Structure formats: C-alpha cells, structure tokens
C-alpha cells in the first residue's frame, strides 16, 4: 500500500482548484437542503427533498469539472495527506 504522500503528486493544481470550489458548493447545497428537509411537512416530502438534494450535490461537483468519484478520491487523499489538505484549504479562502 502506498504511503500517504504518494497520491498527492497525481493531483494536478486544476483538480485541487476544482475540489476546493466544489467543497464550497457542496457545503451550500447541504445547508440549503438540510434546512428544507427539516421544514418539510411529511416523510414523503422529506424523501423527495433528500433525493433532489443528492442530485444537487452531484451537480455541485460535476459543475466544477470533476466526477463524483474524482471528488471523493481527492477528499480521501486530503484526509490522509496534510500537504494536500492545506493546498485545498488555501484555495477555499
């Protein structure tokens, strides 16, 4: 199994830029849909909103030019690699 620093070389700057932008969008979508689901009158509406929210989350990622799989992989690398995490956090400022 490769060490935690080896995957960082495979993430180009443009992917880190896209991941940072996607993280901002994902956060906004999560807040919005979380609020809407909390205010939904019944389970049927909560379920519909949860499905719609899931699609909106995927779109928030793909709108930045990343697949959901790429985004997830970048977040996993960032979780285990301080240098990658710092690069993403710098881009989010």
Q: Report helix angle 82-92 to 13-39, nearest 10.
A: 70
Residues in the chain: 93
* Model pLDDT, residue 52: 98
Give the separation between CA 18 and CA 27, rounded to whole angstroms: 14
User: Domain limits of the chain?
Assistant: 13-92
Classified as helix, coil or strand, 11 is coil
* Model pLDDT, residue 5: 45
* Model pLDDT, residue 9: 53
pTM of the model: 0.84
Taking 50 as the pLDDT cut, the residues of the chain under it are 1-8
Q: How far apart are the first and last CA of the chain?
A: 33
* Model pLDDT, residue 19: 97
DSSP 3: -
């Amino acid at each position: 199994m490769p060490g935690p620093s080896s995957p960082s070389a495979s993430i180009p700057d443009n992917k880190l830029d896209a991941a940072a932008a996607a993280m901002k969008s994902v956060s906004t979508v999560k807040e919005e849909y979380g609020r809407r689901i909390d205010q939904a009158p019944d389970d049927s509406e909560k379920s519909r909103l949860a499905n719609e929210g899931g699609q909106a989350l995927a779109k928030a990622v793909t709108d930045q030019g990343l697949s959901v799989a790429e985004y997830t992989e970048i977040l996993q690398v960032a979780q285990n690699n301080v240098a990658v995490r710092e690069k993403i956090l710098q881009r989010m400022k």
